[in-house]
Amino acid sequence: MADEIEFDRTATTPAGEVATLSPLVRRVIAGNGGPMTFTGTCTYIVGRGTVAIIDPGPDDSAHVERLLGATTADVILELVDTDEPPLRLFLGTYPYPVVEAAYRKRLDTWNTWRPLADKA
């Protein structure tokens, strides 16, 4: 008879908390714990600035907000600044204030350099 393998059932971080696993990898556990997901779906954010999101998890607004909060405005701009409506629908209205602020900052930067560009 084979020896029984002990299974560690302790969670390393609670659902909803952003855990830094390495300088380039962060994890957010969704609050959908169950027999197939253990403590919840593990969503990984890989990179800084422009990132890859691996396994975005369930269609849960709180989880999506945590993911967006852990990324930068540039990532949100990449997601919503597209002609593909599914991404905009998935994110709902959350990104609009973030996108407005990011565009405002970009326009301020452009306007700062505009006099020099006009002379070129």
pLDDT digits (tens, 9 = 90+) for 22-72: 988 889 888 888 888 888 888 888 887 777 788 878 888 888 878 777 766
pLDDT in tens, 13-22: 888 888 889 9
Residue 105 lies in a domain: yes
Residue pair 18/28 in contact by the 8 Å Cβ criterion: yes
One domain, residues 62 and 26: yes
Structure tokens at 71: 């990324």
Residue 120 lies in a domain: yes
One domain, residues 77 and 116: yes
Q: Over 70: is that where the pLDDT of 119 sits?
A: yes
Please state whether beta strands 25-29 and 42-46 pair in parallel, antiparallel, or not at all (unpaired).
Answer: antiparallel
One domain, residues 80 and 66: no
Choose between 111 and 12: higher pLDDT. 111
Residue 67 lies in a domain: yes
One domain, residues 67 and 77: no
pLDDT of residue 87: 52
* For range 84-92, the mean pLDDT: 55
Q: Count of domains in the chain?
A: 2
Domain that holds residue 116: 73-120
Cα four-point dihedral sign 95, 76, 87, 52: negative
One domain, residues 16 and 67: yes
pLDDT of residue 103: 77
One domain, residues 120 and 84: yes
Residue 33 lies in a domain: yes
